[in-house]
A and B are shown apart, each in its own frame.
Chain A
Amino acid sequence: GENVEQHPSTLSVQEGDSAVIKCTYSDSASNYFPWYKQELGKRPQLIIDIRSNVGEKKDQRIAVTLNKTAKHFSLHITETQPEDSAVYFCAASENAGNMLTFGGGTRLMVKP
């Protein structure tokens, strides 16, 4: 089955700095890679996703890059704000069952 590794497990940045979270996956059949943000006591919220036919996708301060050859993908947050503080999960899935396999999560802390 799929295995997704996520690093770092915790990340502390100063407000205004950039944050980068990296994930690797094992199953070459995986072709969909969403990122979720989960604030304490709240639902995982889909913030951006990328499909395997695309190398990069941006949405305002958030971007995701995908390297299919190396089987890794990354989340980039620029100009971080305190409200970006949360746990971020990457995930991977392949076509047939839409089953998401999640990485272990990254706790991002943005210091004002």
Chain B
Amino acid sequence: DTEVTQTPKHLVMGMTNKKSLKCEQHMGHRAMYWYKQKAKKPPELMFVYSYEKLSINESVPSRFSPECPNSSLLNLHLHALQPEDSALYLCASSQEVGGPQPQHFGDGTRLSIL
């Protein structure tokens, strides 16, 4: 099975904290994605990176800041989050952005904001 690895698995933080979520894939995929999933809801797209450049930002608040340091890594920096930001944050990757491409998901980081 293809593998996307996310750390940490769980994260509890206060509204004034700064933390980062990490995502890694070694499949040579050039597109990476962040999704947010609330309980009993489908994943919602937040960001798309294509060849390490941000290509889509789905009007996400600036307290979420993505970063793609290289083709294998994707980070999501968190600052001044609100309780409603508590959710499962999923990372996914695909070979490329253009053309229909299967997206493969990681296990996610379950984030709780106190």
The answer to whether A32 touches B43, judged by C-beta atoms less than 8 angstroms apart, is: no
Q: In whole angstroms, how far apart are the Cα atoms of A100 and B59 in the complex?
A: 16
- Knowing A43-B108, A44-B43, A95-B98, the reply to whether A100 touches B103 (Cβ < 8 A) is yes
Q: Which of A34, A44, A51, A99 has the most CB of B within 10 A?
A: A44
A96 at interface, CB cutoff 8 A: yes
Main secondary structure on A side of the interface with B: loop
- Knowing A34-B103, A45-B105, the reply to whether A98 touches B94 (Cβ < 8 A) is yes
Interface set, chain A 72-98, CB cutoff 8 A to B: 89, 91, 93, 95-98
Q: In whole angstroms, how far apart are the Cα atoms of A103 and B44 in the complex?
A: 10
Q: With both chains docked as a complex, state the minimum distance between the C-beta of B11 and any C-beta of chain A, in angstroms.
A: 15
A interface with B by C-beta (< 8 Å): 31-32, 34, 36, 42-46, 49, 51, 89, 91, 93, 95-100, 102-105
B interface with A by C-beta (< 8 Å): 4, 31, 40-45, 48, 55-56, 90, 94, 96-108
